[in-house]
Amino acid sequence: DAGVTQSPTHLIKTRGQQVTLRCSPKSGHDTVSWYQQALGQGPQFIFQYYEEEERQRGNFPDRFSGHQFPNYSSELNVNALLLGDSALYLCASSLADQPQHFGDGTRLSIL
Amino acid sequence: QQPVQSPQAVILREGEDAVINCSSSKALYSVHWYRQKHGEAPVFLMILLKGGEQKGHDKISASFNEKKQQSSLYLTASQLSYSGTYFCGTEIRGGSNYKLTFGKGTLLTVNP
């Protein structure tokens, strides 16, 4: 039973570029949440997708957008990258009220 | 609002006990505990629901005090594998609020 998988593992971009991160949820899960984790900090909620719609959003600018596909997989897009966007991006999947399970994350570095 | 975790860091010798606290200024629906090892994904430990009982498995247990809006994670007879950063994630229900708000974490180091 595959857990949450994210790709790519690492990514290096320059300021102003755009990036797309991908997430496949754990089998049987229908909800995907995205988090940003800066070094030495806890994960910060970006947004959550359910039934292909953004169900809730955290305090992140519109540069951060997402999508959920009919197979429940999801993408996180970030436009006009800033140095401060460097972080570990975590995807978590869940089903109804069950706990969220995290993927290993994508380490994004902005030069 | 971000929950406050204490202590920020703790160092133990194998076999010793530890308590990690998580406090919120808001009325909570649930508290979720995770452990994250360096370079790895956070791993779910347990969830405490409002009105629920104290939970635990193996030598790790947790409680949720609704009056104080505080949860505590208890690690007894610590093992080397317990080392990592522990995060509490809090959930406030009401309306369409589904997000988890995580604390800054507690770094636990267990030495031989």
Q: A72 or A97: whose pLDDT is higher?
A: A72
User: What whole-number distance in Å separates Cα of residue A90 and Cα of residue A80?
Assistant: 20
Which of A27-31, B47-51, B92-96 has maximum average pLDDT?
Answer: A27-31
Percent of chain A with pLDDT over 90: 92
Span B82-102, pLDDT tens digits: 999 999 999 887 655 578 899
Decide if B42 and A90 are in contact by the 8 Å CB cutoff.
Answer: yes
With vertex at residue A91, the alpha carbon angle to CA A107 and CA A56, rounded to the nearest 5 degrees, is: 125
Q: How far is B12 from chain A (nearest CA, A)?
A: 20
Mean pLDDT of A63-84: 97
The pLDDT value given to residue A98? 82
The pLDDT value given to residue B50? 75
Mean pLDDT of B53-63: 77
Q: A43 or B39: whose pLDDT is higher?
A: A43
Find residues 23-82 of chain A whose CB sits inside 8 Å of chain B.
Answer: 33, 35, 40-45, 48, 55-56, 58
Write out chain A residues lying below 8 Å of B105, CB-based: 40-42
Write out chain B residues lying below 8 Å of A99, CB-based: 32, 44, 47
The torsion angles phi and psi of A84, rounded to 5 degrees, stand at: -70, -10
Residue B21 has pLDDT above 90, yes or no: yes
Partner residue opposite A90 with nearest CB, options B41, B96, B101: B41
Strands of chain A (E only): list them: 5-7, 10-13, 19-24, 31-37, 44-50, 53-57, 64-68, 74-78, 87-94, 101-102, 106-110
The pLDDT value given to residue A33? 96
The pLDDT value given to residue A28? 93
The pLDDT value given to residue B67? 87
Decide if A42 and B102 are in contact by the 8 Å CB cutoff.
Answer: yes
